[in-house]
Every structure is written in structure tokens, then in C-alpha cells.
Amino acid sequence: MRSTSIIFIFMFLYSCTANTDRSTNINSENLNLAQHGMVSSADSLASQVGVDILKKGGNAFDAAVAVHFALAVVYPMAGNIGGGGFAVYRTKGGETGSLDFREKAPLAANRNMYLDTAMQAIDGLSTKGHLSVGVPGSVDGMIRLHEKLGSMPFADLMVPAIFLAREGFPLNNREAEYLNLYREKFLELNDSTIPFINHTPWQAGDTIKIPALAGTLGRILQYGRNGFYSGPTAHYMLEEIKKGLGIMAQEDLDMYKSKWRDPVEGTYRGHKIISMPPPSSGGVALLQLLKGSEAYDFKAMGHNSVAAIHTMTELERRVYADRATFLGDPDFYPVPVEKLLDAAYISERNSTILPDRKTNSQDIKEGHVDIIESTETTHFSIVDKEGNAIAVTTTLNSLYGSKVFVEKGGFFLNNEMDDFSIKPGLPNQFGLIGGEANAIEPEKRMLSSMSPTIVEKDGELLMVLGSPGGSTIITTVYQVILNVIDYEMGMQAALDAKRTHHQWQPDKIFYETDCLDSLSIESLKNLGHVLEIESKLGRVHAILVREDGMLEGGADLRGDGAAIGY
């Protein structure tokens, strides 16, 4: 009873200063420059929570914990406590590291669990419902991040999210649209009483309260890790899993541990690139792309010119073929990181690139798929006044994950099991092919494209960035780095610039609306490329340290996020 009273005292004190207004003009020049700290995330309420923590004396890592839990409330399509993710950090003294809080396969999982007796994939089994759920890592990850790098009391970081869940938050246009769009899918797997199902269509400005989630977050505040992985919350979660014939058990929750890993590091035109190692493919693939790019003068080619897009496409084609063959959980498979990043290997791999003709993906490796990966992940970047920096990318996988809602706990569960190779050589729901390195095994972490990244120049912090977008994450982060370093753009301009994407399979260049004129499209077709238009590729949230020391926050116009500083 006493601990419950303490939570209400914290909430009362927070309510005196809380701001739940989403009317902020997130892209005005006034808000994108700051001297002391900056937070860029997919939601203005979450960004404001992070800035408030920085103003109260918290460091970037404190703010990251608070932002993560706030996103679990106000951004339920991807923000989460029922999923997982990765973090890359750099301290003010230049120490770097990464935290892997990716989900794991349950102990009862096996490599053929989504195949029928003829060894063919069963449609939908790995993508929705209770059997698609991996063991969540987000809560353990945030607790371990705070234990190692945080400075404020953990309770101070939890209260903003509890307040938002209990008192409610207004929907923006995009959230209302998606909740309406997914209503039938929610009803397919849940009771009509979950807070995201309304009798009439949701509209922007409608308020949602999630009291059950407030209760879950309160238990995490009081009991830390045990407030999620055991006790009432674990019981609610497993009760729901069993109802849908899932396989996750209490032993899976007890055994889950996030893991500190050494980041992958390399250089690009004199800049140090610090990114996420396996089981993310993002860091390795990004460094392969950048190392390959050093052989070309992109600035001379011109931004989004035919020559630049052709060259990027050919580099991407080879990198994504490597991803499918070599990348997986290094605790289960000997991922040849050094070989993949070896300059001689990259040079030999790219030696077949021709300036006047595309390479057929089938000539690099067999395979054929027709779709690209979902965009529903979320990323946030934070820099504090001391120069500490963190990039965090987290996800439920698909929009709202498995669509399974733990009603008594107030949160969605992930569908990350589909990120394994359900059958080596078979594409997942989003078109990415995987091999033996990413086959399902108990306690194994599934491969990811998430690419939280930090860039240094002359030993000093330069940039913090990352993006949602599934397989498009890697190429999105790659192009933003080129925009800043090669094309000398500012942060917001680098995010606003139009993007393209190629992932080896399908053998197509995806390009955003208004990215290419008719002459460029015809020229690329004459080189042999197949093109397909996409409305949006990636949604980056990034921070640039300018030459004058000011922080320029970037919030991608493709989303509804906000870069807020002070």
C-alpha cells in the first residue's frame, strides 16, 4: 500500500508540469536548434518527456529510459514493453558500447515449427497470433541500461509514462487512421474491450487511457525486472499466450537477459562510424556500404543523379545478398564479421560493378520475392549537455506486432519469430531471405535490420541517427550519412531529401514520390533497372553537432515525430 502511495505522489508532482499538447510545430527552425540537449523521437509527447528529464539533470541514458517507456504508451504501433531492440551509446569521454535487448525464441521453439508435413510454410502462422511471439527484451534492456549508465532514480524515469497511460493522451491523425484500419485484425485475436477498439471510428484529438498499462508500469517502477518477468504481469502475459496455444513459458521469462556487446566500428572519409553488431545486420551492412562507397565520388556525381542511384543500387545488391547468407545470432553461429568488413573482400565483391549496366540479382545469389519489409519500428536519438549520446531502435516487428493484446497488462506482444528464417531460402513476410545462420533455435535471437548509429569526426561526436523501416533501415541510414558527409547537408535537409532503396531481392529500385524525373527514370531503365514507386522510405530521427557546437535535431517529415531541445 505504501509503495502505491509513493507512485501517486510521484504522479501528482509530475502532473503539475506535464504537457500533453501535440500541437507543437515540430519542424520549425526555432525548435531544431538547441545548446544543452536534444531528443528526436517518433512522438512529440515522448520527445518532451526526454527533454524534461534532461532539464532536471538527467543524462542522455536516463532520458532514453523515460522516452522508451513513454513511447510504449503513446506510440503503441511500435513503441513497446512487449518487444525488443538495440541501443548504441557514446559517453562524454568517448567510450562506446551497444546493448542487445532483442527478443529470443522460446525454449519450446524448433526450426520446423511453422512448416506443414510437406515442409511448406503455413500461411500466417509466424506473422500473427500467439505462436509468433518471441520472448520480450525491452524491459530488461531499459533496466540494464539504467543500472550501467543512468544517474537519476529509476522511479523518476517511469512516472511520465505511468501518468500518460493513466490520465490519457490525444491521438494524432496517423494514429487514429491506423487504429481504424487495424480494428478488424484486433477483433480477430482479442476481446472487443481492449482500449484500442472503439464503437465509432477514432478521430484525431480523441483521448485514450490505458489503466492496465499504468498498472504494469507501476509494477516495473516498484519491483524492477521482477515487475514484468514475474508476478502478476508475467501471469497475465502467459495466461494470454496459453489462451492462443502459444509456447512461451515462465522459464523463458526467467532466463531472458539482454546483452552488452562491442559495437562494430569503421571509417568513412575520415569519420568514425559506430553501429550495432549482430544479431543486427544493420551495422555490418552499413559499414560494407560505406566502405564500398569510398571508391566513388558521390559529390561529383550529384545527389540522386542516375550515376549515384545506379552505384548505390549495385553496392546495396551485394550487401543484402551477404546479409542473407552470413548474418545471424553470433551466440549460435560464427558470423564472419571481420571477413565481411575486410577492405580486400569488399573491393573484390564490388569489382563486377559496371557503370553502364546493372547486375542481375539472380547472378549474385538465387532467390525471388515480390515485397519489401514493413516500416513499423521506431527510433529515437538523444544528446545531453555533457555530450553523452545514445541511439535506440526498438520494435514489435509488424504494426502492433502479433496483434495479440495482453488485456490485463495493457500492451501488445511482438511477432518477431517471423524474423527468423522459417525455412532457409524462403522469404519472410516482408521479402527478406535468410539462410542457415538465421534458422530457428531455442533461446536464439532473430536477425534484424535495425541500425542505431553514432558518427564521430576528429574524435568528437558528430551525429546520432537511426530509422524504422525494416529492410529499408540500412539504406535509409546510409543515405543520410552520405547526405551529411558527401553532400554537406544540415540535419533536417539530410532527412528531407528523397530516398531510394534496393535489397537484392526483389530486384527492383524502390524510389520515393518526386525523387526522380521522367528522364532519370528512363535512363535507369536503359541501364537494365526495374523501378517501383513508394510513398515513403524510412523515418529518421537524428541529431547533428554543428561546427558552432549547437545541436541540430532532425525529425523526419515522413512521420509525426518531433526533435525538441533546450
Task: Check the CA dihedral 236-242-243-246 and report its sign.
Answer: positive
CA distance 402 to 194: 15
Taking the model in full, what pTM does it have? 0.94
Residue 412's closest CA among 196, 91, 89? 196
360-to-149, 492, 521 alpha-carbon distances in Å: 47, 35, 18
pLDDT digits (tens), the chain, 566 positions = 445 555 555 555 566 566 666 654 444 444 489 999 999 999 999 999 999 999 999 999 999 999 999 999 999 999 999 999 999 999 999 999 999 999 999 999 999 999 999 988 899 999 999 999 999 999 999 999 999 999 999 999 999 999 999 999 999 999 999 999 999 999 999 999 999 999 899 999 999 999 999 999 999 999 999 999 999 999 999 999 999 989 999 999 999 999 999 999 999 999 999 999 999 999 999 999 999 999 999 999 999 999 999 999 999 999 999 998 889 999 999 999 999 999 999 999 999 999 999 999 888 863 333 444 455 799 999 999 999 999 999 999 999 999 999 999 999 999 999 999 887 666 555 455 556 788 999 999 999 999 999 999 999 999 999 999 989 999 999 999 999 999 999 999 999 999 999 999 889 999 999 999 999 999 999 999 999 999 999 999 999 999 999 999 999 999 999 999 99
Active site residues: 377
Cβ(67)–Cβ(380) below 8 Å: yes
pLDDT at site 496 = 97
Grid cell, residue 323, equals: 546479409
Of 249, 524, 471, 505, give the one whose Cα is nearest residue 365.
505
Nearest to 375 by CA among 476, 306, 299: 476
Name the grid cell of 487. 553532400
Give the CB-side neighbour count of residue 137, counting CA atoms within 13 A. Answer: 30
Task: Please count the other Cβ atoms lying within 10 Å of the Cβ belonging to residue 1.
Answer: 5
The two counts, helices (H) then strands (E), for the chain are 21, 21
Q: What is the pLDDT of residue 565?
A: 97
Give the number of other Cβ atoms within 10 Å of residue 480's Cβ: 28
Identify the pLDDT of residue 3.
Answer: 52
367 and 505 in contact (C-beta within 8 Å)?
yes
Which residue, 308, 286, 285, is CA-closest to 297?
308
Q: Rounded CA gap, 24 and 317, in Å?
A: 40
SS3 of 15, please? helix
Bridge partners of residue 177, in order along the sequence: none
| Angle at alpha carbon of residue 430, lines to 243 and 289, rounded to 5° | 135
Please tell me the predicted confidence (pLDDT) of residue 29. Answer: 46
Residue 89's H or E segment, with its range, is strand 84-90
The domains found in the chain, sorted by start residue, are 261-374+450-565 (3.60.20.40)
Radius of gyration of the chain (CA): 22
pLDDT reported for residue 385: 98
Q: What is the dihedral of CA 127, 130, 131, 132, to 10 degrees?
A: 30
Alpha-carbon distances, residue 242 vs 2, 248, 417 (angstroms):
33, 8, 17
